Amino acid sequence: MDEIIVNNYSKIKVGSSTTNIKTVFLKSNLNFGTAFVTEPFGTSKTRFQCPEMFTYSLIKINSSLYKLTIERNSKILCKTTAKYFWSDGWSIDLYVTNIPKCNIITASMITQILPDNYGHVDTTFSHEYKNKIGIVVPIFSRHNYLEQFFKSLRNSEMKDCLLILIDESLTKDVDEDKQIVNAMVKNFTFCGVNLIKIYKKNHGNMHDSILRGCDIANMFCQYIITIDSDTIHNKNWVSKLLEVYNDISINSNENVVISPFNTINMKRHTIKEEKLTYYIKNSIGGCCLLFNQRIYIKYIRCTLISHKWDTNLITNINNNYGLIAVTKPSVIDHIGFQSSGHRSSDNGTYDVALDFVSD
């Protein structure tokens, strides 16, 4: 059996297997939780593994040695990823991530959640570490939009929020704009809000930033919000999102994703049904979303393999009898007409909220 030395909770390489069960020993001083998930993988930008193909069993042998058993599900429900599996075993180099639950945030704990050499971490904790909502903001370029974003964010009511800024401005094609962006992130402060800043060493694109930010938020927070850095907000946009989420949850629909941003640009993202405080939609634009921990692990994390992640997660939620809703009216709006340049296929179009009125 393999012995694996583990320095952090993320991307533990367990490799391939010729049988449906593989056992490895994890040698580490970390306190592992019982929850494991695979790193997202798929066959293309719009094909990803879902649901989780493996089950895990962890036994603690002593203070620094764990026995982890990985078993592949006998029935492959996701046809698009069947190419990775033989009649027995799996052909991919499998990476898994442990997801412990923590009540206290420290800079060292955040570093352990991230892959090795992922980037530099700065933290500012203004109050008790426990937070209800984790807000993840991927940042790359366009300092003129980021300036408006930060100004609007500071005017927002952010009670019980953990704000996670993930900056990769200096990882690719560095120019004056990105140098300004990096300096703005370093200088950003928010009195009374717990703040984590991560400066990435290598370019991983927006979906990679969202993945790592959500992993952190998932450990410490009940709800997770992803939001673009080219948006402006109403003062109570966070509480409005939670209000709509709670209204829907009362009706026992568990697979819920809420957006604060209503758009039907280019005749997409059409409204299916109108309620008093929200619209039910077939899809939503942008990466501004609220969901709970369970939805993230079960339906969203596996889609974070490409810039098509938001399209993929909507497909995934719809295919699993979920509900997609937007606040009525919109409580954020996109201002980013200029593309971030994260991918070559950007065509200069952007989504605009139809009913946003600033405070």
pLDDT in tens, 180-235: 999 999 999 998 889 999 999 999 889 999 999 999 999 889 999 999 999 999 99
Q: Where do runs of H (alpha helix) occur along 188-249? A: 205-220, 237-249
Closest CA to 279 of 261, 266, 305, 300: 261
At residue 337, the pLDDT reads 65
Confidence band for 144, pLDDT divided at 50, 70 and 90: very high
Give the rounded distance of the alpha carbon of 47 from its chain centre. Answer: 18
Residue 231 contacts by C-beta under 8 Å, 6 or more apart in sequence?
149, 152, 261, 286, 288, 332, 333, 334, 335, 336
- pLDDT tens by residue, 332-359: 998 876 544 444 444 444 577 878 887 7
- Within a 13 Å sphere around the CA of 85, how many CA atoms are in the beta-carbon half? 21
Whether CATH 3.90.550.10 fits 107-334: yes
At residue 264, the pLDDT reads 67
Q: pTM for the whole thing?
A: 0.91
Three-state SS at 267: helix
Top-ranked range on mean pLDDT: pick from 37-46, 117-126, 236-245, 306-315? 236-245
Closest CA to 334 of 221, 193, 181, 229: 229
- pLDDT tens by residue, 76-123: 766 667 777 878 888 889 999 998 877 777 888 899 999 999 999 999
Mean pLDDT, residues 144-154 taken together: 95
At residue 84, the pLDDT reads 79
Query: In sequence order, what E strands does the chain have?
Result: 2-5, 12-17, 21-27, 36-38, 54-62, 65-72, 90-98, 119-124, 133-139, 161-167, 194-200, 223-226, 231-233, 256-259, 271-274, 278-281, 289-292, 323-327, 332-334
Q: Lowest-pLDDT range, 20-24, 199-203, 316-320?
A: 316-320
Residue 144 contacts by C-beta under 8 Å, 6 or more apart in sequence?
none
At residue 344, the pLDDT reads 43
Q: Between β-strands 289-292 and 65-72, what pairing exists: parallel, antiparallel or unpaired?
A: unpaired
Contact 164, 124 (CB under 8 A): no
Contact 148, 156 (CB under 8 A): no
Q: Lowest-pLDDT range, 50-64, 205-219, 261-275?
A: 261-275
Mean pLDDT, residues 275-283 taken together: 90
* Mean pLDDT score of the chain: 87
Domain boundaries, the chain: 2-98, 107-334
Number of residues written out for the chain: 359
Question: Would you put residue 47 in left (φ > 0), alpha (ψ -120 to 50) or beta?
Answer: beta
Q: Tokens standing for 138?
A: 């991927």
